[in-house]
Structure 1
Amino acid sequence: MIHSIPQQPDPDWKQISAIEICDNAEPLVPVSLAPGKLKCYPAYYKLGIPNAIPECHVRKGVYLRLLQAAELLPEGISLLVLDSWRPYAVQQYLYDTLYNAIETRWPDKSPTALEQLTREFVSLPSTHPQTPSPHLTGGSVDVTLIDEQGLMLDMGTLFDEASSGSHSGAFELLENPTPHEQQIIGHRRLLYRVMTAAGFTNLPSEWWHYDFGNQLWAWYSNSTQACYGVAQPDNLESRWRKELDSQKD
């Protein structure tokens, strides 16, 4: 039996940003090379989001835990990564786009209120060493489940849908769920169970968002320290520079 998803508090970003980061220098690795029941579909790239990349990169420790979570799924169900590490420009685009949409819907709200509503679904863009956006660390992943035909299971809302129904425990609050709603509850519980069993924590406003190793994970897991800070995928230029620097006297 899969237990219900617990109702978690919203993140306290002031407390989260105060958590110490001691980056363990784990590299970012591509999810697309994963075997078996771990799949990759870079959703933002497929949607044509500016500066999005055609790969899902995660820290090595996250990758190994994703493999573990995928193996816990029943036969015929696979784990699909939709987004993970993202460039700062993508984070800024997502934040600005949602902020502007909310401002258009509620033009009388104050900038503080607009920021609060936006941050329910998109973190502030930041590459600051002490306050990086979760996805810029390589420790955040957006995931869902797919069946044997590669079709996404019904999770009740779309990935990145900015509505209260996207809260992980939203359907748990229904007193008399319909058979369809019971199916949605089962799918969310299954995803939550395998991801938390592999060591991830969930952002309660997004059924698809899970963390390991970053400040958000540290706060929800009551850890005193985060092991992932700002990360950057390796590229040819950075590799050459490292090689040249190593040759200096």
Structure 2
Amino acid sequence: MTRPEHDASLADTPIPHRAEPDWAAVGRLPIDGSNEPLVPMSLAPPPIKVFPAYARMGIPGAVDECYVREGVYRRLLAVARSLPEGLSLLVLDGWRPWRVQQYLFETLQATIQANHPEFDDQQLLVRTREFVAQPSTDPSSPSPHLTGGAVDVTLCDADGLPLDMGTLFDEAVPASHADALEGDPGRDDARRQARDNRRLLYHAMHAEGFTNLPSEWWHFDLGDQLWAHYEGHASARYGPAELDTIENRWRRQL
């Protein structure tokens, strides 16, 4: 697929290496708070596509929609409109109920423990946190996806099929680290193409103010504590969020 010259430059720019987050420091950052609502990404026009991955996988408690804060919604639209012709931004997950976060964390932790019985509790926690944040509803330190500021995305072609990124979404392996393909690919054309696809996604998102979780090429943040940590801000914008259910609406009104 031919890319415009300015877009090709994004694919030519390596993804910088970044250290894994200091989760304790992340959780200590104050949250200003925001009244921005959660909005469904299915409202978005092309070139955005939405595939709520966890609901389609049958994950307990997953919602069949991808909700994000309004500010995140508008920035994602800007990212999608900046992509080369024929490419779309595919949104896989946004706001995530605590129950889903707990399920993902416990399932991955149990899998790692079964494969590495020699790990002590701290090693197990570190390895699990590499790919799934620890579940938390603490208003001062919520899980990123609970805020509506974290989003999982990839790129897809004109037929709606995801581009090759070198690993699958949520594949808990070292190759899923954002910069894992930055070594010399040699004559491996598939690896080179996957690397360039990652670069395009990373830099398009970064240009609109998103930060990336280094261990996951698909995970980006805007406004939450993880974003504030990597951007060097003194505080975050978004704390925990709730869907605007009829029950919540009546509770506020009455």
TM-score category by the smaller chain?
Answer: over 0.9
Aligned to 1:8: 18
Count of aligned pairs:
244
Given residue 166 of structure 2, which amino acid in structure 1 is its aligned partner?
G
Of 79, 83, 89 in structure 1, the residue corresponding to residue 93 of structure 2 is 83
Letter in 1 for 2:128: T
Report which stretch shifted further, 171-180 or 107-116: 171-180
Question: Is 1:120 aligned to 2:130, yes or no?
Answer: yes
Structure 2: distance between partners of 1:233 and 1:43: 18
Q: Which amino acid aligns with 1:138?
A: G
- Residue of structure 2 in register with 1:74 after alignment: 84
Compute the RMSD of aligned alpha carbons. 0.8
Question: Structure 2 length as normaliser, TM-score?
Answer: 0.95
Report the residue type matching 1:155 in the other structure: M
* 1:67 alignment partner, SS class: helix
Structure 1: tracts of 5 or more residues without a match: 245-249
Q: Which amino acid aligns with 2:191?
A: E
The answer on whether the counterparts of 2:33 and 2:237 sit within 8 Å (CA) in structure 1 is: yes
Offset at 1:14? 1.2
Residue 227 in structure 1 maps to residue 228 in structure 2: no
Task: Tell me which of 143, 164, 168 is aligned to 1:158.
Answer: 168
Aligned pair 1:217/2:227, yes or no? yes
- Distance in 1 separating the partners of 2:71 and 2:151: 12
Q: Which amino acid aligns with 1:169?
A: D
Q: Distance in 1 between matches of 2:248 and 2:58?
A: 26
Q: What is aligned with 1:130?
A: 140
Is the aligned partner of 1:110 residue 2:120?
Answer: yes
1:60 aligns with 2:70: yes
* Residue 37 of structure 2 is aligned to residue 43 of structure 1: no
Per-residue deviation, 1:241: 1.8
**In 2, Cα distance between the equivalents of 1:8 and 1:69?**
22
- 1:195 corresponds to: 205
Of residues 186, 191, 198 in structure 2, which corresponds to 1:176? 186
Distance 1:105 1:149, change over 3 A: same
**What do residues 71-125 of structure 1 show as CA deviations (whole Å, max 9, x unaligned)?**
1100000001100101000000000000000000011210110010000000000
Identity of aligned residues (%): 54
**2:40 and 2:67 in contact (8 A); partners too:** yes
SS of match in other structure, 1:210: strand
Change (3 A) 1:133 1:178: same
Q: Point out where structure 2 has 5 or more consecutive residues left out of the alignment.
A: 1-8
- Structure 2: distance between partners of 1:174 and 1:13: 31
